[in-house]
């Protein structure tokens, strides 16, 4: 399908999303309430348990935290507050423990999500090779944290976090109930020299948004543009996950069909593509709950290639943010929040 600018839209994900929504709508009310969980945590729980079983007492102590405490609430992927995050770091593991760690992370993300996470980790080496704080950077300075006791009963959580990367998974009574907040952020987004030249980690997040904004008429661009300057940083940080859900910018109801398709392709890049296959259909249906015509697209700054810009996508059930920390769109921060299930809580 083509929009005003001749954009080609992949319809496969959209058709799958429609099927998932129809399946949810067909359920009785009580069952629909249960769909708030994203899926079984059985395999994920086993992998977390297997990882913990490889640890000695000292490493296990570093990896374990109480469920629901301040540590669980204080997710943070920024570098300004330290490049070393709470938990047990990859660089502290032996070969067997690293293998168990990667096996665990393969249940946290889809292959696409895992590849993106590995790119974010790799960029720490790219920055170190450029002489940027090499003593503080490592592709293995990313931490495993387990909150509470992984089991089929009760609530517990898992987090993998480091500079420019955070992913939290909350489990309740054997069901995954939350996979947010999560962020894949980068510096540099486009690697322009060295052995990793050509790596572009957040290409879709950049290109799809620019295409959507560029396909709008001048009048609609003016309505979508909130400011002439890029967002310097995300608004919805720890403790403020739901504080910036006011809709602003351009509603989906103002878009033509191809533009709406592109908007949902952008949303799914954040909310569906990175999650494991077993969660994709329910996750796709979840971001489409509420008034889909009222999802808003808010733009900040110019729309010039390789220049800083920002945008926000605000729906009834989610907030997505993209910010350029620099003027070249090389240092990018992103966040995705499921407003109904922040860190496994509905309030």
**197-239 pLDDT, tens per residue?**
999 999 999 999 999 999 999 999 999 999 999 998 999 999 9
Q: What per-residue confidence (pLDDT) applies to 80?
A: 66
Residue 5: cis peptide before it, omega within 30 degrees of 0:
no
Weakest-pLDDT range from 14-28, 207-221, 282-296, 311-325: 14-28
323 pLDDT exceeds 90?
Answer: yes
74 pLDDT exceeds 60?
Answer: yes
Domain ranges, ordered by start, for the chain: 12-27+188-338, 39-178
Percent of the chain with pLDDT over 70: 89
pLDDT digits (tens, 9 = 90+) for 100-110: 999 999 999 99
Instruction: Please state whether the predicted TM-score (pTM) of the whole model is above 0.85.
Output: yes
**Angle of helix 12-25 relative to helix 257-271, nearest 10 degrees?**
80
């Amino acid at each position: 399908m083509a929009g005003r600018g001749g954009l080609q839209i992949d319809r496969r994900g959209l058709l799958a999303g429609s099927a998932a929504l129809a399946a949810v709508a067909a359920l009785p009310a009580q069952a629909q309430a249960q769909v708030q969980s994203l899926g079984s945590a059985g395999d994920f729980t086993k992998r977390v348990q297997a990882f913990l079983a490889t640890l000695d007492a000292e490493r296990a102590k570093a990896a374990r935290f109480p469920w629901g405490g301040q540590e669980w609430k204080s997710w943070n992927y920024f570098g300004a507050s330290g490049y070393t995050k709470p938990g047990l770091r990859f660089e502290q593991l032996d070969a067997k423990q690293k293998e168990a760690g990667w096996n665990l992370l393969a249940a946290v993300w889809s292959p696409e999500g895992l590849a993106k996470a590995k790119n974010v980790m790799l960029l720490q080496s790219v920055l170190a090779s450029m002489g940027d704080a090499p003593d503080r950077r490592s592709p293995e300075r990313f931490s495993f944290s387990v909150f509470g006791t992984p089991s089929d009963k009760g609530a517990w959580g898992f987090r993998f976090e480091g500079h420019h990367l955070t992913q939290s998974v909350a489990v309740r009574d054997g069901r995954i109930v939350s996979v947010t907040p999560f962020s894949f952020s980068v510096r540099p987004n486009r690697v322009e020299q060295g052995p990793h030249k050509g790596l572009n980690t957040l290409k879709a997040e950049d290109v799809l948004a620019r295409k959507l904004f560029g396909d709008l008429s001048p009048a609609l661009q003016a309505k979508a543009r909130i400011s002439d300057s890029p967002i310097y940083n995300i608004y919805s940080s720890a403790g403020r996950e739901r504080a910036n859900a006011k809709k602003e910018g351009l509603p989906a109801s103002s878009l033509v069909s191809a533009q709406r398709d592109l908007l949902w392709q952008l949303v799914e890049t954040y909310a569906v593509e990175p999650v494991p296959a077993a969660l994709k259909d329910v996750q796709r249906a979840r971001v489409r709950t509420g008034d889909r015509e009222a999802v808003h697209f808010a733009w900040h700054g110019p729309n010039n290639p390789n220049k800083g810009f920002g945008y926000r996508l605000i729906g009834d059930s989610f907030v997505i943010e993209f910010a350029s920390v620099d003027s070249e769109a090389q240092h990018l921060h992103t966040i995705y929040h499921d407003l109904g299930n922040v860190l496994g809580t509905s309030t």
